[in-house]
Chain A
C-alpha cells in the first residue's frame, strides 16, 4: 500500500500502541504536525511550554507506565532544548523515542537556519540515533528505534527526519505490522541476526554459584537498584528478600522496587543513606546488588566499599560489571528472569542475629512539633493525607532526598526522580507525563524554590490540559543542597546560593489560572493539602521553610560509607 511518508510515521506510532505524545512544533517539523492533525482522534498531543518540559514529560510517562515515551521537536534550538531531557532519560535508563526533523537535504551541513547536527549531539546520550534520508526506510527505522529503546537495558533513542523526507508528496510502501510481530521486520531481524539470534538466557551455573554463596553467607545485604524498577521485577525481588531474611537497602533509582515500609527495609544507601543501610554495607559478608551500578553517590569510596563482603552484581548491562566497584561474581540478565531462576534454587533462610544488629539502627523520622514549619511536617502531612498509591515526582536537591527518605514507595513507577543526571526542573514535566499515563492516580510534584523556577512555565500546560497535579514547593529561599555543602565544607561562604527574589509562587499559580496556597504552619499545610486534593485542578503549595534545614544523615563524597558528616 502506498501512503504518505508522514502518514507512515503516524501509523508506525500506532503500531507501537502509542496514544500520547509530548512535543512542540516548528518550521522543519511542520509536515509531521500537519499529519498529526489527521490523527487527533488516535494520538493525543500534549503541547508543553518548552521542549525541555516535553522531554521530561515523555520520560515521566515512560517511567510511570513502563511503556515507551514519545517526544516531538523541531530542528536546531527545538532539538537542542531536548538534550537535557535526553541525557536525563539516558542516565536513568528510561525508554523514550525522541523524534526531530532537520532541514532539507540540500540545506544540510550548510549552517542553514535552525540547523544543528542533533544526531551527533545526541550520540553520547542515547542508545542509538538515526538520521533518515530515505523515506522508504521510515517503517524499518521507526520499528527498530522502539525495539532498541524498550529492550535490553532501556534508554532513549533519537530519530532525525530530513524535512524533504516528510514532504506531503512523498509516498512510500507500507504495511501495518503490530509491534508484537515487528521482529520479523527486515532491520530488526538483521540486527538480531548480527548479534546472535537466540534470546539470551542467564547462565544456570552462575546462578548455582550464587545460590551456594548465599548458603555460605551469615550477614547478607540485598540492594534494590533501578534495574528492579525498570525490569518490573518487584515481586521476584520481594520473594527473594523474604527468603534471604536479610536487610534490604534501596537506592534512589530503586525506589518502588521494594516496599518502603517493609520490616526488612533499611532505607536509602550511600551519601544520604540511613545508618542501618550504611553500617550493613560496611559489615555484611555478602553484598548482593540487583540492577545497581554502584554510582559515586552509593559507593562513595570504591576501595573501601563493602570491604568485608563478597560482592555480587546482577545486571542486564555487562559493561556495568567491574565499572565502579570490582565484583566477586556477576550474572547478566533481566532482573525478573535471574531472580525467578534464583528463587527456584534458594530455600528459606533465617538471619535473626544479623537483623537484630542492623534493623534497630533505622531511625524513625520524627516530625517535631513547633511553631516553625519543618520539611518533615510537610512530608508527614502529605504521606498521611495522600492516597497510598500517589505518584511522587521530585526535582533535585534537599526536597528530593527528604521525599525519598520519607515516603514509602510500594510499586515501580511510583517514584519519578532524576537520580543519575540530577536534573533540576525535571519534576513538573515528569508529573505531567505521569498524570497523562495514570489519569486515575494522584500525582504530587515535590520541588524546591530553585528547581521550580527553572521550569515553572509548565504550569501553563498543567492549566491548559486541566491536570490536577499538586506542586509542593519546599521554599527555603536558597539552593538548599548547595548551601548545605557550603555550610559543612566551604566554611559558610554562601556564594550565589541565596534566592532572595521573586516570584511570589502563590500569585504565579494564580497568574497561570491555578490555585496557590501559602503554607507557614503545620495547620496551614493540612488545610492547603486537603484543599488541593479536593480541588480537581493544578495547585501550588508554597511551603516556607528555614534555609538552614539539612538533609541528614550525610557522608561526604569519597569518604568511607560510615564516616557520617551529619547524623
Chain B
C-alpha cells in the first residue's frame, strides 16, 4: 500500500541525535535551507551520552516535505537517530528572558504580579527595568510576552522549543527504520 501524507501545513518537531563533530549543525541545517524552508526554532545541547548532541528543530511544513527532510537527515553519517514528535505524544517547553521597562513603583508591582500569575521569576532588577524568566510551553511564553508589551519590552532572549517523548519510549529505541538507514551508510 502506498503511504498517504497530510497535505496541510503545520508545525512539526524533529528530534535529532548526532555525533558531536565540527560542522554537524550546518550539515543538518542545510537540509532545510536547501528546500527553501525556514527553521522556526533550533536548540542544540549535550545528552546523557558523551560526544552525542541532541538537536531539536521546529519547522512549518506539510507531512511529505517534513518526512523527506527527516529521511535525508537520517542518511547523514554523523546522525544517529531522527524522530518526528507531535504535540500529542510529546512534552514541549521553551524558556525566555524578557527585559521590561518598569520605571516607577506601580509599573514594577504590576510586572511582578503578572509574572506571579504566569509562575515566572524576576531574575534581575534595576531602577528602570525588570528581567523576567519564564519557562513553559509556547502558548504560555507568548501570552506573558503579550501582557508585558504594555509596559515596553526592551529585549527578549528565548530558546527554541525543547521536546521529549511522553512515557517509556526514547529516541534511542531501535527499530526497523533505523536499521534500514544504517544499511545505506554502513561502514562494515
**Chain A interface residues toward B at CB < 8 A:** 119-120, 123-124, 127-129, 131, 144, 147-148, 151-153, 183, 188, 191-192, 194-197, 199-200, 203, 311, 316-319, 321-323, 326-328, 332-334
Contact = CB atoms under 8 A, between A and B. Distances in A.
Given A196-B182, A200-B186, A332-B184, A127 B77 contact: yes
Interface in B172-187: 174, 176-187
Name the residue in B2, B27, B67, B174 with the highest tally of chain A Cβ atoms < 10 Å from its Cβ.
Answer: B2
Would you list the 10 A-B pairs with minimal beta carbon distance, nearest first? A317-B184, A319-B71, A332-B180, A200-B183, A318-B180, A326-B2, A147-B187, A319-B75, A195-B182, A152-B185
B105 interface: no
A304 to B, nearest CB: 14
B68 interface: yes
Given A128-B77, A319-B75, A323-B68, 17 more contacts: A120-B26, A124-B34, A127-B185, A131-B22, A152-B183, A152-B187, A192-B186, A195-B182, A196-B178, A196-B182, A199-B186, A200-B186, A317-B75, A319-B184, A322-B67, A332-B184, A333-B183
Q: Interface size for chain B: under 10, 10 to 19, 20 to 34, or 35 or more residues?
A: 20 to 34
B181 A319 contact: yes
Contact of A188 (B178, B184, B187): B187
Contacts of A124: 30, 34
Nearest to A323: B68
Contact of B188 (A123, A151, A326): A151
B47 interface: no
Nearest to B1: A328
A529 to B, nearest CB: 42
Contacts of B1: 328
B50 to A, nearest CB: 12
Given A323-B68, A323-B71, A153 B26 contact: no
A196 B75 contact: no
Contacts of A321: 71
Contact of B182 (A127, A144, A200, A326): A200
Contacts of A123: 23, 26-27, 30
Given A196-B174, A318-B74, A318-B75, A152 B186 contact: yes
A546 to B, nearest CB: 41
Contacts of A153: 184-185
B177 to A, nearest CB: 7
A316 B184 CA distance: 5
A194 B19 contact: yes
A332 B179 CA distance: 9
Nearest to A133: B22
Contacts of A317: 75, 184
A334 B180 CA distance: 11
A319 B186 contact: no
B140 to A, nearest CB: 36
Interface in B12-67: 19, 22-23, 26-27, 30, 34, 67
A195 B34 CA distance: 26
A196 B81 CA distance: 11
A200 B185 CA distance: 10
B176 to A, nearest CB: 7
A90 to B, nearest CB: 12
A50 B181 CA distance: 37
Contacts of A194: 19, 80
Contacts of B121: none
B171 to A, nearest CB: 13
Contact of B77 (A148, A200, A327, A333): A148
Contacts, number: 94
Contacts of A316: 183-184
A328 B22 CA distance: 39
A277 B183 CA distance: 30
9 contacts: A124-B34, A148-B77, A148-B187, A151-B185, A183-B188, A200-B180, A200-B186, A311-B2, A319-B184
A319 B183 contact: no
A293 to B, nearest CB: 12
B2 A200 contact: no
Contacts of B27: 123
Name the residue in A128, A195, A200 with the highest tally of chain B Cβ atoms < 10 Å from its Cβ.
Answer: A195
B187 A318 contact: no
Nearest to A327: B2
Contacts of B77: 127-128, 148, 191
B127 interface: no
A484 to B, nearest CB: 30
Nearest to B68: A323
Contacts of B159: none
B73 to A, nearest CB: 9
Contacts of B2: 311, 326-328
B183 A318 contact: yes
B116 interface: no
A192 B185 CA distance: 10
A480 B180 CA distance: 42
Contacts of A197: 188
Name the residue in B30, B34, B75 with the highest tally of chain A Cβ atoms < 10 Å from its Cβ.
Answer: B75
Contacts of B74: 318-319
B177 A318 contact: yes
A392 B188 CA distance: 32
Name the residue in B26, B176, B185 with the highest tally of chain A Cβ atoms < 10 Å from its Cβ.
Answer: B185
A507 B183 CA distance: 51
B102 to A, nearest CB: 43
Contacts of A203: 176
Contacts of A144: 187
A151 B80 CA distance: 17
A194 B72 CA distance: 18
B168 interface: no
Contacts of B182: 195-196, 200
Contacts of B183: 152, 200, 316, 318, 332-334
A317 B77 CA distance: 12
B55 to A, nearest CB: 16
Contacts of A147: 187
A504 to B, nearest CB: 44
A148 B174 CA distance: 22
A183 B186 CA distance: 11
A199 B188 CA distance: 7
A380 to B, nearest CB: 41
